[in-house]
Chain A
Amino acid sequence: MSEWLLSDQMVGNMLYVNSLLLMGGIYALMCLGLNVQWGFTGLFNAGIAGFAAVGAYTYAILTTFASGMHIGGYELPIWVGMLAAMIASGIIALAIGAICIRLRADYLAIATIGIAEIIKLILKNETAITNGPRGVAKIPRSWEHLGDARVAEKLPWRLFGEPSAYEGFFREWYPLLFMLTVVGFVLLVYLALEIARTSPWGRVMTAIRENEAAARAAGKNVTRLRIESFVVGAVIIGLAGAFYAQQLRFIEPTNAFDPTKLTFLVWVMLIMGGSGNNRGAVLGGLMLWVIWSGTELVIRFGANVLGDVFPDLSPSVLVTKASFLRLFLIGLILQFVLQRFPKGILPEVRPAALGGKTNEVRD
């Protein structure tokens, strides 16, 4: 039994599940960020890819080696890079928010799409800073490089003895540690947002979303609160962007931050999971990523079975053709879920008016 558990195949399967939780976790973070903006406050942010790119590039440039291709060589610790990614994304959101936040729903959407494109064009054309379309490579990943000499030279790692003593450990176990870090952050952000949601701040956000005029009449500084929500969401998306850069270890402005795979996929995840519900956001992110990634295996299995049954068909040709079918399949699943659960799989649960914890009401 234990031999079977430790076979290459089993370890490989576990590593794949690990990678599903990891990427799913990164998407769940983006969903949580969007949930603050759209689910809580009703701000239509269609520029998720732009904020994720700001986070990813900030992290990448601050933490990579000097490459001669982009500015950098700062080699800052990973946590500093992630903190800077959140701050940079937040500052951009603050600047944008100060200008555009008064725009109503669809106008804000148009403005944010435009801003995401501007960010992309800047990253693409400021080649001296970002290496332009050729991208930033060899981005350090959490845990993986802790045994490297350049990390080990710095305090406090010197205290743990020679890097050779623990290099092997981190090289072997970084996938699990990195996944746990991402999932830990998802949990942390989730808990923080749950507190925010049931707090007076969260209830004002709902009031702004449902009836802005009433909120204003009640004496709330609506513009300021909308900016707050926009910035908090952007900070979370920036953090997710930093994790995204770590997982890919290479980023470039065009394909890695393609709006269909970041902005619109994240929107679909949130709507599917349940907009306004933090648990729904996490569920949507994880679930849709598992479907997105897992369908390739399902299709490959199907192609192999077909290839066995009909020897004239080549599985490899079938898989090539079916790759296009995959997008269609995902669309079909979405249709089904949205027909069955129009408010998402986990619909929004509104906190009771007086902040009571037990008598939450379904909308």
Chain B
Amino acid sequence: MKKTLLVSAAALAFASVASAQVKVGNPMAVTGPIPDLVAPMVDAVNLAVAHVNEQGGVLGQEYVMVAADSGCDPAAAVDAVTKLVNVDQVSALIGPVCSGATIAQATSVAIPAGVVTLSVSASSPAISTLEEGTDLVFRTAASDAYQGVALAELAMASGISDIAVSYAQDDYNAALAAVFAEAFAAMGGNVTANEAHEPDKASYRSEVATMGSTSDNLALFAYYGSGGITLMRNALETGAFSTFIGADGMLSQETIDQIGGENMGAATFTTSASDPSRDAFQAWAALAEAAGVPASDPFVANSYDAAFMMALAIEAAGSADRDGIAAGLRAISGPDGETILPGEFAKAKEILAAGGSINYDGGSGPQDFDGNGDVAGFFSANVVVPKGSETKLTIGSKSYDPEYVWSSTLLN
């Protein structure tokens, strides 16, 4: 008990430090299974905070991001967010990274406390329908439901009528595969097999042999680093499948290097992408490049957009009270109003002060929330071509010079 008292006294002491600040909680998965993916996302959030503060801050006060660690783990996320909401008294939350952590912290802590969660990368379709009668969970990353449908449309458009589905048994790939299979069947396609595979196995020969007898086409949902490459290689070696489609888990130079670009002529993988011709992407890319943040890495633009939109929402709501923030987010995300590009905080403030309305257009997409707080996604189809003949949607390239590379075209 003494410890508890000590901690509460200590917590009190911490709280008294704060003054004239607008505080937003930022429980990112800095430890846990994906720290290297999260590090540039944290940088992007901090970049947005710096931009807001350079341009006068939120409501004339300093915009402060209270960082915490959700560890990609439901239990850690609930604990971290309990502290942010109660001890730090944050106005809102910007995103736990993983879907499971996002669902747990929202239903256990944030929704009961009436605090808005704006997730930066949680893509599980379950998040759309978490809450009943409240409007407290938003996200700047598209639900898998969109990518699964985009992929089904792509398969249909390329004349595939029957397909076998194999997915890695993890929350991301399993959810995506379920959406794809449902959408493909609804469009009149025939899903001949729909099987999970355990990640990180040494061989998938029996799996591909079983499924290969049902169709020549394989929809593969896996991470390249944990079994995806092995499965694809086994499928090619045994001749079980000739055509492959799939999602972003397989998109890596590693896939090409290990399987061989000349063997991957009939493989297409989708990923969320930004249209580089959009002004918003150009603005974001310039800001990111100036700060040394990788603009096109997964969910980095989404992280910047989330932190920037939260500042705009509080500014539009006119107060940092928890109650007004959901309405503020809807007000600034459009589609009506004057367009605000990444970094244009002072301009937005001016328009809001004059009683105008704004529509934030982010580096990761237009960021217009639907009724569930979801945004539509933009996706690209990626195929392997010899180096030099590719079309690139994203800027910035690695120094490494391979023989074959991915080539992207925008889907929607």
Contact = CB atoms under 8 A, between A and B. Distances in A.
B31 interface: yes
A13 B8 contact: yes
A134 interface: yes
Interface string B8-52: 101111110100000000101011110000010010011001000
Interface stretch (A16-24, A35-43, A270-278): A16-24
Contacts of A317: 42, 46
Given A252-B100, A261-B75, A12 B89 contact: yes
B411 interface: no
B405 to A, nearest CB: 32
A9 interface: yes
Interface in A114-143: 124-125, 127, 132-135, 137-138, 141
A8 interface: yes
B78 to A, nearest CB: 6
Nearest to A289: B79
A247 interface: yes
A250 B100 contact: yes
A250 B75 contact: no
A250 B75 CA distance: 9
Given A133-B171, A137-B126, A250-B100, A297 B7 contact: yes
B170 interface: yes
B83 interface: yes
Contacts of A247: 78, 108
Contacts of A244: 75
What is the interface of chain B mostly: helix, strand, loop, or mixed? helix
Interface residues of A, number: 62
Interface string B69-94: 10011111011101101110100000
A334 interface: no
Interface stretch (A202-210, A230-238, A319-327): A319-327
Nearest to B322: A8
B4 A17 contact: yes
A256 B108 CA distance: 14
Nearest to B196: A125
A133 B108 contact: no
B328 to A, nearest CB: 20
Interface stretch (A88-96, A152-160, A298-306, A335-343): A298-306
B275 to A, nearest CB: 31
A296 B11 CA distance: 11
A251 interface: yes
B175 interface: yes
A297 B67 contact: no
A11 B169 CA distance: 42
Contacts of A23: 79
Contact of A323 (B17, B45, B69, B108): B69
Nearest to B173: A133
Contact of B73 (A15, A137, A261): A261
B335 to A, nearest CB: 30
B126 to A, nearest CB: 6
Contacts of A21: 4
Contacts of B8: 13-14, 16-17
A256 B100 contact: yes
B86 A12 contact: yes
A249 B112 CA distance: 12
Nearest to B77: A248
Contact of B3 (A8, A174, A290): A290
Given A16-B83, A17-B8, A293-B83, A248 B108 contact: yes
B98 interface: yes
A181 interface: no
B14 A297 contact: yes
B67 A256 contact: no
A332 to B, nearest CB: 17
A319 B65 CA distance: 11
B130 A137 contact: yes
Contacts of A326: 69
Contacts of A297: 7, 10-11, 14, 83, 87
With most chain B CB atoms within 10 A of its CB, the pick from A174, A291, A323 is A323
Nearest to B5: A17
A144 B112 contact: yes
Interface of B: 3-4, 7-8, 10-15, 17, 26, 28, 30-33, 39, 42, 45-46, 49, 65-69, 72-76, 78-80, 82-83, 85-87, 89, 98, 100-101, 103-104, 107-108, 112, 124, 126, 130, 169-171, 174-175, 196, 198
Given A19-B79, A255-B33, A256-B75, 20 more contacts: A17-B4, A19-B86, A133-B169, A137-B103, A137-B107, A138-B130, A248-B75, A250-B107, A255-B72, A286-B4, A290-B7, A296-B69, A300-B66, A301-B10, A314-B46, A316-B67, A317-B46, A319-B67, A320-B67, A326-B69
Which 5 A-B pairs rank lowest in CB-CB distance, beginning with the nearest? A12-B86, A250-B104, A319-B67, A323-B69, A249-B107
Interface of A: 8-17, 19-21, 23, 69, 124-125, 127, 132-135, 137-138, 141, 144, 171, 174, 244, 247-252, 254-256, 258, 261, 286-287, 290-291, 293-294, 296-298, 300-301, 304, 314-317, 319-320, 323-324, 326-327
17 contacts: A12-B87, A13-B11, A13-B15, A19-B82, A127-B174, A127-B196, A132-B174, A144-B112, A294-B7, A296-B68, A297-B14, A297-B83, A301-B17, A304-B17, A316-B26, A316-B45, A316-B67
